Amino acid sequence: MTSDHSTRASSATDAAAATDPAPAGATGAFPDGFLWGIASAANQIEGGFDEGGKGLSQADVIPFRTARDYVDISSLMKATDASIAEAVATPGTAGYPKRSASDHYHRWEADVELFAEAGLTAYRMSIAWSRIFPNGDDAEPNEEGLVFYERLFTRLRERGIEPVVTMSHYEMPLHLVTEYGGWANRDVIALFERYARTIVTRYRGLVRWWLTFNEINTTLIEPYTGGGVVEREAAPGVDPRQTSYQALHHQFVASARAVRIVHEVDPEARVGCMLARMAHYPASSDPADVVKAQFDNNMNFVHTDVQVRGDYSGTVRRFWRDQGIDVRMEPGDAAELAAGTVDFISFSYYMSLVSSVSPEKYGATGGNLFSTIKNPHLPTTEWGWHFDPEGLRYVLNGLWDRYQVPLFIVENGLGATDELVGQVTGEGDERVDTRAVHDPYRVDYFVQHLRQAREAVADGVELMGYTAWGGLDLVSASTSQMTKRYGIIYVDADDAGVGSYDRIRKDSFFWYQRLIETNGAVLDD
């Protein structure tokens, strides 16, 4: 896979399926009731950033930063006190792509019709916390925000689409960032708990699938994006990772409380954690590289260890000791973590990474959230991400073997430059719209990954569903580009937010429709 398009490789299930293994279905090789869908995040799709009583979120203050070198994407996602102050003083949407995003806030009804036409049985989305509690610590929730999602969930269900809802996807109220210090402040746990109780109670019966924190491991990688922690110099002698681990611990406690709230308020509902699964391969068969890869994998598993097993692993406890990191825990925390374990693991999978004790021997390439050593066996996407479908089978088997809980792939997809062809002529009855996007590279990406997912199912992995990232083109989390397109539905807007915002079905839309219709049998075509 290179930047050349021609070579670019491109269910509404019963709640009980979360705990009872489902047999492979009669059609395709995916279990009956498999959840087929697409995925999004409020801050990347909604727009309407200052409407309906919504407060500013941490995403609304991230400006468009051009990225010539995608190996260094972390610089694009950071925020400082100065950058936030400048953003707050800047009205409107210009220069801040996540403020307008895909304009789903105004077009959601038509979007849901497209989702239904695609035959989705699930739609993964997030609630913008700042629509419900504009400042995070408000005395009362914002009714207009609650009604927005209520109508959306109701319509989705009417169309046979199960909402799969992330409580927090990189969109904490900005007030909690600036006035509380984000998740580094323990007081945020109680505010999140109240938010979680509010939405779970209000949407009881409408939402049966909850995820607590999107890619919870992001807090260690990008503390602002994952934890609302603004970049500041650490106090002398303090490891800067101290704050990230503290913030993460607070999120774990908050997640455990949210899990208990879901179980208590709606016994029919199921709740999962969400991990950016970063599979590390050793760069060589040198045992030192193999052990380094094992360590890197175990550090990625820290998050599922806590959320599924209910405790921190020996690997991370030793790491803290070695690094002088001291995570403050309250006496009741261990019991809370143990009592708030999830029903299933959801995860994103885009690529694999490579570990070595001598990384300088190898070149680097771009990646999801951070760059990695280049794997000579793998092609890369336009954005430098390894293209590794077999890695998905490896990841599924690894998670299943380690935890033995149902798995849900809630993000996987190809960010690519698409070309819109055709045009609109005439008006009214004379209107002819020939616009299309021919994206065989995206279909190829799905085919290759889903064949590997199917292999994993045949290996015995209990897989609940697959929601392709994007669905509708949306603003990139890392690079804030609209033109890094993930969707099966094109959104006619550019990186500056200029365009008609019309929705155009890509060729991959029609393929995805057949994928769902056949429960995966189309993978053999």
- For residue 490, what are the CA distances in angstroms to 102, 416, 437? 10, 12, 8
Minimum distance from residue 43 beta carbon to ligand BGP (Å): 8
DSSP 50: T
Nearest-angstrom CA–CA distance, 79 and 177 = 10
CA distance 491 to 107: 11
**Mutual orientation of helices 389-403 and 287-304 as an angle, nearest 10°?**
70
Q: What is the 3-state secondary structure (H, E, C) of 225-277?
A: HHHCCCCCCCCCCCCCHHHHHHHHHHHHHHHHHHHHHHHHHCCCCEEEEEEEC
112: exposed, middle or buried (Cβ count in 10 Å: 0-12, 13-18, 19+): buried
Distance, CA of 383 to CA of 71 (rounded, Å): 9
Query: Binding pattern to ligand BGP, positions 29-48, x when CB under 6 A?
Result: ------------x--x----
Q: How far is CA 298 from CA 280, 301, 304, 491, in A?
A: 10, 5, 10, 39
- Interacting span for ligand BGP (CB under 6 A) from 8-16, 234-242, 387-395, 475-483: 475-483
Query: How many whole angstroms from its chain centre is CA 499?
Result: 26
Q: Three-state DSSP class for 508?
A: helix
In the complex, minimum distance from the CB of residue 229 to ligand BGP, in angstroms, rounded to a whole number: 17
Can you tell me which residue has the tokens 């939402």? 207
* Closest separation in Å from C-beta 383 to ligand BGP: 7
SS3 of residue 94 by DSSP: coil
For the CB of residue 453, give the shortest distance to ligand BGP in the complex, in Å: 18
- Which C-beta is closer to ligand BGP: that of 22 or that of 177? 177
Is the CB of residue 111 less than 8 Å from the CB of residue 154?
no
Q: Which CB atom, from 210 or from 312, has the smaller least distance to ligand BGP?
A: 210
The catalytic residue positions are 215, 411
Contact 470, 39 (CB under 8 A): yes
- Torsion sign over Cα 250, 252, 256, 259: positive
487 makes contact with ligand BGP (CB under 6 A): no
Residue numbers 103-142 binding ligand BGP by CB under 6 A: none
The reply on whether position 307 binds ligand BGP by CB under 6 A is no
Q: For ligand BGP, which is the closer residue by CB, 134 or 384?
A: 384
| Interface stretch with ligand BGP, choices 94-102, 127-135, 290-298, 477-485 (CB under 6 A) | 477-485
Contact 498, 491 (CB under 8 A): no
| Residues 386 and 449 sit within 8 Å (Cβ to Cβ) | no
Site string for ligand BGP, 188-217 (x = CB under 6 A): --------------------------xx--
Q: How far apart are CA 328 and CA 306, in angstroms?
A: 16
Please spell the DSSP secondary structure of 350-361, one letter per residue: --EEEE-S-GGG
Q: Please identify, using beta-carbon distances, which residue of 60 and 215 lies nearer to ligand BGP.
A: 215
Rounded least distance, CB 427 to ligand BGP, Å: 36
- Residue span binding ligand BGP (CB under 6 A) among the ranges 146-154, 431-439, 452-460, 473-481: 473-481
| Closest to ligand BGP by CB, 41 or 253 | 41
Instruction: Report the site for ligand BGP in 266-305 (rule: CB under 6 A).
Output: 276
Least separation in angstroms between residue 276's CB and ligand BGP is 5
Show the site string, 234-273: x = touches ligand BGP by CB under 6 A, - = not. ----------------------------------------
- Pick between residue 17 and residue 216 the one whose CB is nearest to ligand BGP: 216
Q: Counting contacts by CB under 6 A, is residue 348 touching ligand BGP?
A: yes
- Nearest approach in angstroms of CB 44 to ligand BGP is 6
> Residue 44 or 212: which CB sits closer to ligand BGP?
44
Q: Please identify, using beta-carbon distances, which residue of 30 and 350 lies nearer to ligand BGP.
A: 350
Verify binding: residue 477, ligand BGP, rule CB under 6 A.
yes
| CA–CA separation, 433 and 425 (whole Å) | 7
8 A C-beta contact, residue 248 and residue 305: no
Stretch that binds ligand BGP, among 22-30, 245-253, 445-453, 469-477 (CB under 6 A): 469-477
Footprint on residues 356-395 left by ligand BGP (CB under 6 A): 368-369
Smallest separation (angstroms) from ligand BGP to the CB of 338: 27
Q: Give the one residue of 11, 130, 380, 476 binding ligand BGP; rule: CB under 6 A.
A: 476
* Residue 222 or 444 with smaller CB distance to ligand BGP: 222
Which one among 304, 478, 508, 519 touches ligand BGP, defined by CB under 6 A?
A: 478
Which among 188, 207, 175 has a CA at the least distance from the CA of 55? 175
Which of the ranges 262-270, 315-323, 478-486, 492-500 carries the binding residues for ligand BGP, by CB under 6 A?
A: 478-486
The partner residues of 164 in beta bridges, in order of sequence, read 124, 209
Q: Are 345 and 461 within 8 A, CB to CB?
A: no
Catalog residues that contact ligand BGP under the rule CB under 6 A: 41, 44, 214-215, 276, 348, 368-369, 411, 415, 469, 476-479, 484
